[in-house]
Amino acid sequence: MTSPAAAPDPAALLAALGAVWSPDFDAYASGQLDASQVRCVLCGHAPCDCPPFGTSEYFALTDRLHGRTRGGGA
Ligand SMILES: [Zn+2]
């Protein structure tokens, strides 16, 4: 048996963040892309290259994703 917490599920993590799917998710869902090729919705990298959860860098990414950037930069 596997623990639900043993290996974080990317989909569950995204759902917890407010469910903004990767632009590649449709391709993944239709079988055109392997999960490892789906760009992360936060960092835009495939595979995900996000900073560790809970770091200021991580929250900067989530803030940007949710349109809470201050200053309007890239
Ligand atoms: Zn990522």
CA of 33 to the centre of ligand 1 (A): 17
Spatial neighbors of 59 by CB under 8 A, at least 6 apart, are none
Domain that holds residue 26: 10-65
| Surrounding residues of ion ligand 1, Cβ less than 5 A | 40, 42-43, 48, 50
Find, among 15, 45, 47, the residue nearest to 34 by Cα: 47
Tens-digit pLDDT string for the chain (74 aa): 655 556 667 767 666 665 556 677 777 778 887 777 778 888 888 888 899 989 999 998 888 888 865 655 55
Burial 23-61 (b: 16+ CB within 10 A, else e): ebbeebeeeebeeeebbbbbbeebebebeeeeeeeeeeb
**Domain-embedded: residue 60:** yes
Indicate the number of domains in the chain: 1
Report yes or no on whether pTM surpasses 0.75.
no
CA of 61 to the centre of ligand 1 (A): 9
CA of 3 to the centre of ligand 1 (A): 23
CA of 60 to the centre of ligand 1 (A): 12
**Domain-embedded: residue 1:** no
**Domain-embedded: residue 16:** yes
**Domain-embedded: residue 2:** no
